[in-house]
Amino acid sequence: MLTWVGKRPIRHIVAFPAQHVESFDPSGDASTRGGDLWRDWPTGYPRGGLLFHGDNKEVLAHLLANGFRGKVDLIYIDPPFDSGADYVRKVTLRGPKGTAKLDGEAYTLGEQIQYTDIWANDNYLQFMYERLLLLKELLASNGTLWIHLDEGRSHSIKMILDEVFGTEHFINEIIWKRQTAHSDVGQGARHLGRVHDTLFVYAKGDDFVWHQIFTPYSADYVDSFYRFTDEGSERRYRLSDLTAPGGSSKGNPYYEFLGVTRYWRFTKSRMEEMHRQGRIVQTSPGTVPAQKRYLDEMPGVPLQSLWDDIRPVQSQADEREEFPTQKPEALLDRIIRLCSPQDGIVLDCFVGSGTTAAGAQKLGRRWIACDINKGAIQTTSTRLQTIINEQIGQARTPNQPGLAGVDPGHAAPEPAQLSLAIYRVNDYDLAIQQVEAVNLACEHLGVERTRTDRYFDGTLGKRLVKIVPFNHPLTPLDLDELKREIEARPTEDRSVVLVCLGKDPGADAWIADWNRLRTGKNAINCIEVIELRTDAKYGKFFKHEPARARVKARRDKKMIVVEITDFISPSILERLEQQSGLLRPKIDDWRAMVDCVLIDTDHDGRVFNIAVSDIPGRKTDLVVGRYELPADNVGSTVAIKVIDMLGEEVLATLQP
């Protein structure tokens, strides 16, 4: 058992309700799905893929409290590795060049922080411990958990897994060779190239789902062992020994065959039948006959624990989402085929770019996914919408080739669902992504980040800095928490700077009362507030202007025509201006700033039901911007959601 500072089991956790915010069901599939496949599905959810936006600890608690306990067949997670790094994705504009122009010079949007993998002390171990405890409760009795790690913390996580699941339920340590070579010798490194990741596999119980997979023989193996070829058919084969090891001790038959008396593997009648079929060869009279084993009848090599045949996501790959740590679909395709039943439920609570959900959707499994990052939710949603639309198209034209990313040696199964629903648990829906906002704020203020303090974010001169979460204003509750932290550090005498977006009316009175007792030259623990919207010195930084869209609708015979005539994202323009100085880069087409357009043709003011999704297939393509909707399918209110390349949403509603 591994111990660490602050280790504690989960004794109580609040299960927050989930708010249904968006649905994609182009064929009305969710309301018609039925049968045994969905009999165990909780009635409170539509019968389709579920995508949750929120802290996965809270999402897992919500799932446990709402009917999913013991129902998940396969869990795959690719959690933070405690790598000490910020993970970013590259963001470009849409269009052939993906850039803005200024006097012939190109400018891109640069990088957007998706999540920060930096932890203080043992917080990482407690973070993983709590989530693994919850995941075990969701797992079915015959289910398995796969966790993807690197060499940094894998030894510690394995000990936690042994405690949570039991050492007797450990199945495999798998080594995935993710690249052929890596070397940073030029930067003075004194270690071997790190080219692999580790996957640990644990079962919930003794009888778990396992479908054996075979991999093709290597060319060297085929040339070495399958050296013979049948005349006419050109079928390659090898010669295999027909004698039986162990002789009479194993109960093998003893008789004469083709002039040779031995203990044989098969009965005499079976040997004679194989000989008539031409499957037994005797090179010369008196020699021991051998069996022909044809290459095309062999399943291949049983899958081993070293996986060096799956390449990472290349820069030009169709599946590439420009998301940090994205895993290839082939990796998840193999895991899902190996350890989940055809009607199973697959869960990923660190979904990132959506590869697990994409693999489950393509392989006919039901799926649940979640992430705290809004960019991950949007990336996963648009990716799954594209796959579902392709599957609907294939159902109409069944002779079309299989979907990209699925093993061509296997037929694509019937989809378990052709819809998805997005829920929000304990509102994390920020216009600006939290981790990116914190880093930008620290850079703007000149805060020196502290990576080892579990509470304070850094220092500003000699003062401690605490950044209040930007999803709420500074409140007396935040100040009470600060007070408890200071009281727990009796030797700490530095003043504190609180950085926030807005203040509760009671906060100023609380701070004034606190500072009134701390006056004079040697006063300790004074509190100062920087409000990023209004502060005279720093306020300009967070004078956030939301994106805006100009949308109109008109009737044209039996159609409702919805047209986006203009779109502007001040956040994108601000990024470009930071690169170009005083001059403003030119964006020739507003559509270059737009990632996708979604339309709800009968908006009820609560759930955004996607009836039309304009998601360009490639980064070089642009959204259409003009949409013709049959008037019979349009209700009293049409809602148009425009999402820019940074993930900011604009919602416009019209009454055509």
Amino acid at 325: T
Q: Answer yes or no: is 112 within a domain.
A: no
- Look at residue 472 and tell me whether its pLDDT is greater than 70: yes
Q: Answer yes or no: do 170 and 318 share one domain.
A: yes
- Look at residue 142 and tell me whether its pLDDT is greater than 60: yes
Q: What is the mean pLDDT of residues 221-227?
A: 90
* Class of residue 53 by CB neighbours under 10 A (exposed 0-12, middle 13-18, buried 19+): buried
Task: Give the CATH number, domain containing residue 347.
Answer: 3.40.50.150
Q: Answer yes or no: do 362 and 478 share one domain.
A: no
Q: Answer yes or no: is 17 within a domain.
A: no
**Concatenated DSSP letters of 532-599:** TTT-TTTGGGG-PPPPEEEEEEEEETTEEEEEEEEEE-HHHHHHHHHHHTTSPPB-S-GGGGEEEEEE
Q: Answer yes or no: do 191 and 154 share one domain.
A: yes
Final residue before a domain boundary, out of 263, 279, 299 = 299
For the beta carbon of residue 138, count every other beta carbon within 10 angstroms.
22
pLDDT digits (tens, 9 = 90+) for 582-625: 556 678 889 999 999 999 999 998 899 999 999 988 878 999 99
For the beta carbon of residue 398, count every other beta carbon within 10 angstroms.
6
* Residue 414 DSSP symbol: P
Sign, CA torsion 282/287/288/293: negative
Q: What is the mean pLDDT of residues 126-155?
A: 94
Compute the distance between CA of residue 322 and CA of residue 304 in angstroms, rounded to an integer: 30
- Look at residue 52 and tell me whether its pLDDT is greater than 60: yes
- Look at residue 491 and tell me whether its pLDDT is greater than 80: yes
**How confident is the model at residue 232, as a pLDDT?**
82
Final residue before a domain boundary, out of 242, 272, 299 = 299
The order of strands in the sheet holding 448-449 is 448-449, 458-460, 463-467, 496-500, 527-531
- Look at residue 111 and tell me whether its pLDDT is greater than 60: no
Residue 104, C-beta contacts closer than 8 angstroms, at least 6 positions apart: none
Q: Answer yes or no: do 556 and 530 share one domain.
A: no
Q: Answer yes or no: is 91 within a domain.
A: no
Q: Answer yes or no: do 28 and 170 share one domain.
A: yes
Six token digits for residue 619: 């980064």
Final residue before a domain boundary, out of 522, 542, 562 = 542
* Residue 134 DSSP symbol: H
Q: Answer yes or no: is 622 within a domain.
A: yes
Q: Answer yes or no: is 104 within a domain.
A: no
Domain ranges, residue 628: 548-654
Confidence of residue 543 (pLDDT cuts 50, 70, 90): low
Q: Answer yes or no: do 360 and 287 share one domain.
A: no
Share of the chain above pLDDT 70, in %: 85
Q: What is the mean pLDDT of residues 302-309?
A: 92
Q: Answer yes or no: do 455 and 517 share one domain.
A: yes
**φ and ψ at 202, to 5 degrees?**
-130, 145
Q: Answer yes or no: do 511 and 646 share one domain.
A: no
Q: Answer yes or no: is 166 within a domain.
A: yes
Q: Answer yes or no: is 452 within a domain.
A: yes
**How confident is the model at residue 401, as a pLDDT?**
46
- Look at residue 314 and tell me whether its pLDDT is greater than 80: no
Q: Answer yes or no: is 262 within a domain.
A: yes
Q: Answer yes or no: do 563 and 614 share one domain.
A: yes
Instruction: Out of 112-126, 253-267, 271-285, pick the least confident.
Output: 112-126
Residue 399, C-beta contacts closer than 8 angstroms, at least 6 positions apart: none
Six token digits for residue 118: 């930096």
Q: Answer yes or no: do 76 and 178 share one domain.
A: yes
User: How many domains is the chain partitioned into structurally?
Assistant: 4
Q: Answer yes or no: do 553 and 504 share one domain.
A: no
pLDDT digits (tens, 9 = 90+) for 363-416: 999 999 999 888 889 889 999 999 999 999 888 765 544 444 444 445 678 999
Spatial contact of 639 and 603, defined as CB atoms under 8 Å apart: yes
**How confident is the model at residue 506, as a pLDDT?**
85
3-state secondary structure of 145: strand
Residue 276's alpha-carbon distances to 238, 240, 272, in angstroms, are 18, 17, 6
Q: Answer yes or no: do 500 and 379 share one domain.
A: no
- Look at residue 110 and tell me whether its pLDDT is greater than 60: no
Confidence of residue 427 (pLDDT cuts 50, 70, 90): low
Six token digits for residue 298: 């062999």
